[in-house]
Amino acid sequence: MSYSTSTYAAAQAAMEARRQKAESEQEDRRERAYEAIPSLRAIQAEIAQCGTQVVQAFAQGGNAEQFVKTLAEKSLAAQQQRKELLVSSGFAADYLEAHYVCDKCKDTGVTEEGICPCFRELLVETARKKIAAAAPLEESRFDNFSLAFYPDAADAAGVSPKKRMGEILDFCRSYAEDFSLSSPSLFMHGATGLGKTHLALAIASGAMERGHGVVYASAPNLFAALERERFGKGGITGLSGDEIDEAELLIIDDLGAEFATQFTVSCTYNIINTRMLAGKPTIITTNLTMPEFEAKYTQRITSRITGSYVSLLFLGHDIRQLKRYGGKNQ
């Protein structure tokens, strides 16, 4: 499991907020109970004192077994008295306890066994929220990718778009289910509105659900962030060169939509080459044809993609237009 520093920081902040909220609410309940049951404060102090004396007894060493046993009995008696007072006054027996979201780690994110499962879930949730803020992640699922918008009839090359897209859908679903750091990089290309972003985001969801760190960015936002970072203007929140390099899966959406400069072409090469050498998978989507792509990014970049990426050519007509006018390909 590997997430960016910003994702970890956001998840840790959320976990700390949970803990502080539980303990703040506990303190409020304690004050209300003390006000309703004045003798409760002395009982609480007695329980706390027993705990302190037990720790001191063990620290001093020697034969403390009988003393500790006596303290334990005293503490249990005080706890029982506290419980009876609370219940008789109309409070729940555990009213003075902190009500954590996770009782296992007490909202710290860590247990004796290591990272708590609740923190792993929070990391996935945090990563999903970050991507969902930039793209329609929740709406982009395998189960709602409809082949009805792709024509059955073969195109000029003798290929049925519906058949081809069914094969691509099956491939992407398997890719997400089996995703690992040894998964190949993907190059999704084809005309606009054919579902490239939809399937790339569906893969992202699958990878995150399996605990993998995913970074998604549209090409214009990606290069804007890197340019601001490079020239000291302050990077876009949560997106940096290190995060892009370290992501277990990087998705660059709509490559080619950015304004092409020597800087963007250089960044494209560095990202592709660095991640390829590190053996980390990348998914690139583009509306450019291969000749257009090579003309914009040079043969050096194109050769790395054609030589190491799995090429997925999307076929059909613009789905967004078809959906807008309520039509389907025949």
| 302 alpha carbon, distance to own chain's centre | 30
Which of 95, 97, 126 shows the shortest CA–CA distance to 109? 126
Q: Which residues of the chain have pLDDT under 70?
A: 1-2, 54-55, 57-64, 66, 232-238, 321-330
pLDDT in tens, 162-190: 999 999 999 999 999 999 999 999 999 99
Q: How many CB atoms lie within 10 A of CB 233?
A: 10
* 121 within 8 A of 11, measured Cβ to Cβ: no
> Looking at residue 198, what is its pLDDT?
97
| 295 alpha carbon, distance to own chain's centre | 35
pTM > 0.85: yes or no: no
CA torsion, ordered 253, 257, 263, 267, to nearest 10 deg:
20
Spatial separation of the C-alpha atoms in residues 189 and 166, rounded to whole Å: 16
> Looking at residue 6, what is its pLDDT?
80
Per DSSP, the three-state class of 105 is coil
| Residue whose structure tokens are 């699958």 | 206
* 189 within 8 A of 312, measured Cβ to Cβ: yes
Spatial separation of the C-alpha atoms in residues 102 and 61, rounded to whole Å: 35
pLDDT in tens, 222-277: 999 888 887 765 544 557 778 888 889 999 999 999 988 999 999 999 999 999 99
Domains of the chain with bracketed CATH? 20-102 (no CATH), 134-324 (3.40.50.300)
**One-letter amino acid of 124:** V
* 168 within 8 A of 312, measured Cβ to Cβ: yes
Task: Give start and end residues of each alpha helix (H) in the chain.
Answer: 5-36, 40-60, 65-88, 117-132, 161-177, 196-209, 219-230, 241-246, 262-278, 290-308, 319-324
Spatial separation of the C-alpha atoms in residues 272 and 255, rounded to whole Å: 12
